């Protein structure tokens, strides 16, 4: 027997309608190249989204088409998110930090019909445009006054297009499995792979994101997303925030600038923020150098890579609590978050630190398991580590234009991560499968070693890679960026003694000026392996 409930489809347009009606005067604040501090509210935003849907009609962008964006976190990118999805168009967010060749590849692979671009990327597109056969034209995210001169064919000004259109638009209703957005993984090996999100997954993921045991968002919050809207849809926050009326602050092209972030946070009364560790390092360095404080920020969600304890502790001095979170492009991205039930005051410091470094518990909707090499499920005892597999309604089942399923025979997605899970469900990533160091048949966790090393007061950043070894196959090599020039190799290696298993301690540590960063702001182990290919020569 079926239940007798409405089959209302889960569509992104419902978030928009809800926010406009209930939270119409909640603000969205942005920095763009033509506005030092643009400010409007949800009602203004969604009126303009209707105009934009009419612009799509004018440009012959119709249901099922894919359009690309090369844009920062700002109000226009937000409008494109909604105008595309709500009219059944797919928004392909292109990461402008990728190499030109990768951008050419993904724009062509996705068959983007139009590109909506920030003026900053016009020179890049001028270089590429002859190799983008599917593109019908370019819309520059600007007002008329700040339009750049360009040799691009069929160029339009975003604001002028909007001005000419009506504010009336009837949003269509369609199948909730309709594609809404497209994002390519960074493709550290091989070509980038496209992940196609749909309305149903996006809505369910948004419900999960706002829950108290996740981001805990409401109309009392003000969120600044440092995670880019071109990287897994800013972790889904542009959908989740309007659902519950959260004020949004968008730093535009200044997202890596400590001073701008501090100004925005303090002046707009931001209390929650989200981003990868490298960004936070930059903000915390700025605070140290300038002596400034964070007046209203209370919590920060750090994901995309393991968060070093040093970042958590420095934030703590500013009265900010860090939640480690784990996810991936293929998972929309949220998989787990560490919200900790335990009261820190009641735990010994070392136990507390050990706990808060974990990637947390799965959010409802994501099923997790760890398995051995022969796919046998491993116990949740906090010790056994194996391949992490997941299942759930916001996890991809097939990459864009791939024939083969992305799942194993039992319908699980292999994350490519290696993890442990404790009896009470706290998951800890020990490595990416391809970064694991295999020494004498045993595995060494590069993440644990990095964490121990960054705990040293003279270390700014640390990375550990495996280097070939005649006896042990591989041994860890510690690569350090110094905070204090007096740090010696002997000092840092001695520091690790007692903090990790004896046989994990690297034989050598090398010092570098900086660590290579990927297009999504993470330390690039692949580039480090290339850099130290000839080590120890
Ligand atoms: P890419 O790194 O290619 O841009 P994603 O952004 O989807 O792809 O990254 C997902 C990966 O990032 C995960 O599979 C995992 O290896 C790593 N990651 C994400 N969150 C964490 C975390 N909290 N701790 C350790 N690693 C993490």
Domain containing residue 143: 12-25+40-201
Band the pLDDT of 188: cuts 50, 70, 90.
Answer: low
Residue 201 in this model has a pLDDT that exceeds 90: yes
pLDDT for 490: 94
CA of 188 to the centre of ligand 1 (A): 12
Answer yes or no: are the C-beta atoms of 300 and 323 closer than 8 Å.
yes
Nearest 5 degrees, angle CA 367-CA 372-CA 374? 110
pLDDT for 187: 60
Q: Is the CB of 134 under 6 A from ligand 1?
A: no
| Chosen domain end from 201, 234, 252 | 201
| Chosen domain end from 201, 231, 246 | 201
| Chosen domain end from 173, 201, 229 | 201
Q: What are phi and psi of 51, to 5 degrees?
A: -60, -45
Q: Which is the catalytic residue, given 298, 443, 458, 489?
A: 443
Residue 276 located in a structural domain: no
CA of 232 to the centre of ligand 1 (A): 11
Residue 232 located in a structural domain: no
Catalytic residue status for 185: yes
Residue 319 in this model has a pLDDT that exceeds 70: yes
Contacts of 368 (CB under 8 A, 6+ apart): 335, 336, 362, 388, 389, 390, 421, 427
pLDDT for 258: 97
Residue 346 located in a structural domain: no
Q: What is the pLDDT of residues 374-428, one digit of tens each?
A: 999 999 999 998 999 999 999 999 999 999 999 999 999 999 999 999 999 999 9
How many distinct structural domains can be found in the chain? Answer: 2
- d(Cα 507, Cα 216) in Å, to the nearest integer? 44
Spell out where 433-504 has E strands.
437-439, 442-444, 459-469, 473-482
Contacts of 47 (CB under 8 A, 6+ apart): 167
Q: What is the pLDDT of residues 215-237, one digit of tens each?
A: 999 999 999 999 999 999 999 99
pLDDT for 326: 98
Catalytic residue status for 380: no
Residue 176 is part of a domain; what is its CATH number? 3.40.50.12780
Q: By alpha-carbon position, which residue is closest to atom 4 of ligand 1?
A: 186
Answer yes or no: are the C-beta atoms of 453 and 485 closer than 8 Å.
no
What pTM was estimated for this model as a whole? 0.93
pLDDT for 72: 98
Catalytic residue status for 84: no
Residue 116 located in a structural domain: yes
CA of 304 to the centre of ligand 1 (A): 4
Q: What is the pLDDT of residues 153-170, one digit of tens each?
A: 999 999 999 999 999 999
| Ligand 1, pocket-test mutation among 235, 277, 326, 396, most atoms within 8 A of CB | 326
Residue 528 located in a structural domain: yes
Residue 30 in this model has a pLDDT that exceeds 70: yes
Place of tokens 């969600």: 301
Residue 504 is part of a domain; what is its CATH number? 3.30.300.30
Band the pLDDT of 340: cuts 50, 70, 90.
Answer: confident
Nearest residue to 294 (alpha-carbon basis) of 269, 277, 274, 311: 269
What is the chain's length? Answer: 537
Residue 109 located in a structural domain: yes
pLDDT for 521: 84
Q: Which is the catalytic residue, given 32, 69, 185, 314?
A: 185
Q: What is the pLDDT of residues 248-283, one digit of tens each?
A: 999 999 999 999 999 999 999 999 999 999 899 899
Percent of the chain clearing pLDDT 90 (strictly above): 86
Catalytic residue status for 168: no
pLDDT for 303: 95
pLDDT for 473: 87
Residue 317 located in a structural domain: no
Residue 202 in this model has a pLDDT that exceeds 90: yes
Q: Is the CB of 324 under 6 A from ligand 1?
A: yes
Residue 189 in this model has a pLDDT that exceeds 80: no
pLDDT for 361: 97
- d(Cα 79, Cα 71) in Å, to the nearest integer? 12
Buried b (16+ CB within 10 A) or exposed e, 90-107: bbbbbbbbbeeebbbbbb
Residue 132 located in a structural domain: yes
Q: By alpha-carbon position, which residue is closest to atom 10 of ligand 1?
A: 328
Band the pLDDT of 341: cuts 50, 70, 90.
Answer: confident
């Amino acid at each position: 027997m079926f239940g007798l409930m409405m089959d209302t489809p889960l569509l992104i347009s419902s978030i928009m309608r809800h926010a406009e009606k209930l939270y119409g005067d909640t603000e969205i604040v942005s920095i763009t190249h033509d506005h030092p501090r643009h400010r409007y509210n949800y009602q203004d935003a969604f009126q303009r989204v209707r105009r934009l849907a009419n612009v799509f009609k004018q440009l012959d962008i119709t249901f099922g088409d894919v359009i690309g964006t090369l844009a920062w976190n700002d109000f226009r990118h937000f409008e494109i998110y909604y105008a595309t999805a709500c009219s059944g168009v797919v928004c392909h967010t292109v990461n402008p930090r990728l190499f030109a060749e990768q951008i050419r590849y993904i724009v062509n692979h996705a068959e983007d019909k139009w590109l909506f671009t920030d003026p900053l990327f016009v020179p890049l597109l001028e270089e590429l445009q002859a190799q983008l056969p599917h593109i019908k034209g370019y819309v520059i995210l600007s007002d008329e006054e700040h339009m750049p001169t360009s040799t691009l064919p069929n160029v339009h000004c975003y604001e002028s297009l909007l001005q000419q259109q009506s504010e009336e638009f009837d949003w269509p209703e369609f199948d909730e499995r309709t594609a809404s957005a497209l994002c390519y993984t960074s493709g550290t090996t091989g070509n980038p792979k496209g992940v196609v999100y749909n309305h149903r997954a996006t809505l369910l993921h948004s419900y999960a994101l706002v829950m108290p045991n996740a981001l805990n968002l409401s109309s009392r919050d003000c969120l600044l997303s440092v995670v880019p809207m071109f990287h897994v849809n800013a972790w889904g926050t542009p959908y989740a925030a309007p659902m519950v009326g959260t004020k949004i602050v968008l730093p535009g092209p200044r997202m890596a600038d400590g001073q701008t972030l501090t100004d925005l946070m303090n002046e707009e009364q931001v209390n929650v923020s989200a981003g990868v560790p490298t960004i936070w390092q930059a903000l915390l360095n700025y605070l140290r150098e300038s002596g400034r404080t964070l007046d209203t920020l209370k919590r920060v969600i750090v994901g995309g890579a393991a968060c070093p304890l040093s970042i958590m502790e420095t934030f703590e001095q500013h009265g900010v609590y860090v939640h480690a979170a784990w996810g991936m492009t293929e998972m929309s991205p949220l998989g787990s978050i560490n919200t900790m039930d335990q009261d820190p005051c009641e735990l010994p410091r070392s136990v507390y630190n050990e706990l808060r470094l974990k990637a947390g518990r799965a959010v409802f909707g994501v099923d997790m398991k760890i398995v051995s090499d022969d796919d046998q499920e491993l116990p949740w005892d906090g010790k056994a580590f194996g391949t992490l597999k997941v299942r759930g309604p916001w996890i991809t089942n097939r990459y864009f234009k791939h024939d083969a399923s992305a799942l194993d025979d039992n319908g699980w997605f292999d994350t490519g991560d290696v993890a442990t899970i404790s009896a009470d469900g706290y998951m800890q990533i020990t490595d990416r499968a391809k970064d694991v160091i295999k020494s004498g048949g045993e595995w060494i966790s590069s993440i644990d070693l990095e964490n121990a090393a960054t705990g040293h007061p003279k270390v700014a950043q640390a990375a550990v890679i495996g280097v070939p070894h005649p006896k042990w196959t591989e041994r860890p090599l510690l690569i350090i960026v110094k905070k204090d020039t007096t740090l010696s190799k002997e000092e840092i290696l001695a520091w690790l003694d007692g903090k990790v298993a004896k046989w994990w301690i690297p034989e050598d540590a090398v010092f570098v000026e900086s660590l290579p960063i990927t297009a999504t702001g993470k330390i690039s182990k692949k580039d480090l392996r290339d850099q130290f290919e000839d080590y120890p020569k």
